[in-house]
Amino acid sequence: MLRTVYMVVAGLALALLSACQPPAQLLVEKAYVKLSPVADNPSVLYFTVRGGPEDTDLRSITSPWILRLEMHETVEENGMSMMRPISAVEVPKRGTVEFAPGGKHVMIWGIDEAAKKAGKAEFVFAFGNGEKIAVDARIDAMKPEDGMAH
Ligand SMILES: [Cu+2]
């Protein structure tokens, strides 16, 4: 009888422990576009990826509202800030990958007028594990103080 009680208590403790850590879910959040004031100049997409229960990588981003997209990374070389294209980006399990000003970003060309008017555009993020995540990104005007700091 006593033994049964111990087992129940141990079982409860385990259940409580696992409840402390919610299951990790791969997701994309805080997506927004900085719209270039000059029609022919590229705009920029920023976002944050939260890693799921397994390591994976971000392989591509597409949008029916955008003509062309390129993943870039801003790097310092000989004291100069330069951008270079990147292909896949590692997303460690339970990790956070930020595409933010001064670092990784997505250059976009040819935003559909209807999306500009709506103030948002849908992007589809494709991952190495086969997951595809569709996210609406808010479209913000690029302010002068944003400069060219992609
Ligand atoms: Cu760039």
pLDDT digits over 115-132, tens only?
A: 999 999 999 999 999 999
| pLDDT of the residue at 11 | 58
More confident residue, 146 or 44: 44
pLDDT band at 22 (very low <50, low <70, confident <90, very high): confident
CA of 74 to the centre of ligand 1 (A): 7
> What pTM value is reported for the model?
0.81
The predicted-structure confidence for 66-110, as pLDDT tens digits, reads as follows 999 999 999 988 899 899 999 999 999 999 999 999 999 999 999
pLDDT band at 42 (very low <50, low <70, confident <90, very high): very high
CA of 6 to the centre of ligand 1 (A): 60
Do the Cβ atoms of 124 and 133 come closer than 8 Å?
yes
CA of 71 to the centre of ligand 1 (A): 7
Alpha carbon distances (Å) from 112 to 40, 65, 76, 135: 13, 5, 33, 16
CA of 51 to the centre of ligand 1 (A): 24
CA of 53 to the centre of ligand 1 (A): 30
Q: For the chain, what is the mean pLDDT?
A: 88
CA of 4 to the centre of ligand 1 (A): 63
CA of 112 to the centre of ligand 1 (A): 20
CA of 103 to the centre of ligand 1 (A): 9
Domains within the chain, CATH numbers bracketed: 25-146 (2.60.40.1890)
Buried b (16+ CB within 10 A) or exposed e, 2-30: eeeeeeeeeeeeeeeeeeeeeeeebebee
